[in-house]
Structure 1
Amino acid sequence: MRVHIVVFDGVEELDFVAPYEVFSAARFFTDRPVEVRYVTASRPGFVRAAYGTRIGVEHGWAPEQADIVAVPGGGYARPDAPGVWAEIRRGTLPRALGAAPRPGLTLAALCTGVMLLSAAGLTRGRPCTTHHKARPDLERQGGVLKNARVVDDGDLVTAGGITSGLELALWLVRRELGPDAASSLEAMLEYEAHGTVWSR
């Protein structure tokens, strides 16, 4: 299982760290190889997250080398600051996401990262969710909102809220690697996934 987690200036720390840890730890509970990396749609280098954390990103955009591309959010409440709004205005990441879908690839997003998928036209007419403050925008842009913590529509999986990266990653581990891997991860993390998972 190859997971690429997209990071950008203004990304919320918990949004990208929580899935990174869950996916990375999954390798201890499966015989399948698991590879997790941070990627950027711009040049590799340093990214400054919402609270000032600097993270070195060595890998560029390569969705053809991934099974899951996970998109965190951040900065949606501050339209003039780095984050989701700045990425939407720049257009590079939404264009890259719009060109990414292919058979075998799951696009996943959490919190306001879902709005980057929306900007790419990927949530229109699809069941989805996002952070509660962005839900009206997502619906106006054509998303079919579901009242669930995680919404699984096959090759599009979304989750609502900052801490939902844990649920998103645990759900995808359960789906891709099986319930034993997911329950073992929950025990290791001392965390029980909560909230409704909506799936077809």
Structure 2
Amino acid sequence: MHAQIILFDGFDPLDVVAPYEVLYAGGTASGGAVSVELVSAEGPRDVVSGTGGLVLRATAALDPARAGLILVPGASGRVGEPGEVPEHDAVAGAWQQDEFIPVLLGRALTTELPTLLKAARDNPEVTLSAVCGGSLVLAMAGLLEGRYATTHHMGLDMLNATGVHAVSARVVDDGDLVTGAGVTSGLDLGLYLLERMVGPQIAHAVEELFAHERRGTVWRHVGPVPAGF
């Protein structure tokens, strides 16, 4: 399985680094069955995150025709010029402060990213995934209508407003769409993806290596609907 993790200006670092490390470790544990790279819509470039001006390098252009996994992170920080180092971080309160996060996510949609994501969505050999506000990127691009997904708990109403069945769960598996909630859920999402695509023994080995126990039950649209809740 090859995983492409997308970078865009203002991305949230933990949304990227947590699943990257999990998937990379899964590749090592599986003898190379998993590979992972950082990509952008524009191709190789340095990309400035929304937290403290941390820079990560995209080493390739997002390729929607390549089989495997494509993962979209969320955003963090204040609104500035694209590529600009923010003067102040607003990670903890960003959802309340003039809706900085939706603005940053919306800016990502002014690039070629929506076109590339649509091509990936239409590729039967691609599984789309997202952490936190990454689900909103997909939803705002019109790619998740009628699907089941999760995001940061403060963005669930916005997700619903785009025609998505928003689920308050740590990880939601909707077939070729697998999404994670708030930023640290990127660890749980990565581990679940390893279990689903490579096997539980590999996922368990990485879980032990990182001293992290996955939280919550992975939600899927199967089985009876709970009564009395």
TM-score, length-normalised on structure 1? 0.93
Name the amino acid aligned to 2:54. Answer: T
Name the amino acid aligned to 1:195. Answer: G
**1:55: Cα distance to partner?**
1.4
Name the amino acid aligned to 2:199. Answer: G
Is 1:119 the counterpart of 2:120? The answer is: no
**1:97: Cα distance to partner?**
0.8
**Could you tell me whether the CA contact under 8 Å between 2:156 and 2:168 is conserved in 1?**
no
**1:81: Cα distance to partner?**
9.1
Alignment of 1:62-77 (within 5 A): 62-75=63-76, 77=95
**1:62: Cα distance to partner?**
0.6
The structure whose Rg is larger is 2
Greater mean deviation of Cα atoms: 140-149 or 171-180 = 140-149
CA shift in 2, pair 1:122/1:80, >3 Å: closer
Q: What is the identity percentage for the equivalent residue pairs of Structure 1 and Structure 2? A: 39
Q: Counterpart of 1:92?
A: 112
Offset from partner CA, 1:126-184 (integer Å, 9 cap, x none):
11111111111110110101221110011011111011110111000000011101111
Q: Counterpart of 1:161?
A: 182
Q: What is the alpha-carbon distance in structure 2 between the residues aligned to residue 114 and residue 85 of structure 1?
A: 12
**1:28: Cα distance to partner?**
2.6
TM-score, length-normalised on structure 2? 0.82
CA shift in 2, pair 1:178/1:80, >3 Å: closer
Q: State the number of aligned residues.
A: 199
Q: What is the alpha-carbon distance in structure 1 between the residues aligned to residue 36 and residue 188 of structure 2?
A: 17
Q: What is the alpha-carbon distance in structure 1 between the residues aligned to residue 116 and residue 28 of structure 2?
A: 32
Is 1:108 the counterpart of 2:95? The answer is: no
Name the amino acid aligned to 2:124. Answer: P
Q: Counterpart of 1:33?
A: 33
Greater mean deviation of Cα atoms: 27-36 or 142-151 = 27-36
CA shift in 2, pair 1:66/1:83, >3 Å: farther
From the two aligned structures, give the one with the greater helix fraction. 1
**1:80: Cα distance to partner?**
8.2
Q: What is the alpha-carbon distance in structure 2 between the residues aligned to residue 107 and residue 81 of structure 1?
A: 20
Alignment of 1:174-189 (within 5 A): 174-189=195-210
**Could you tell me whether the CA contact under 8 Å between 1:9 and 1:82 is conserved in 2?**
no
**Could you tell me whether the CA contact under 8 Å between 2:75 and 2:104 is conserved in 1?**
yes
**1:54: Cα distance to partner?**
1.0
**Could you tell me whether the CA contact under 8 Å between 1:79 and 1:85 is conserved in 2?**
no
Q: Counterpart of 2:54?
A: 53
**For the aligned residues, what is the CA RMSD?**
1.8
Residue 173 of structure 2 is aligned with which of 152, 155, 159? 152
Q: Which runs of 4+ in 1 moved over 2 A?
A: 75-83
**1:95: Cα distance to partner?**
2.3
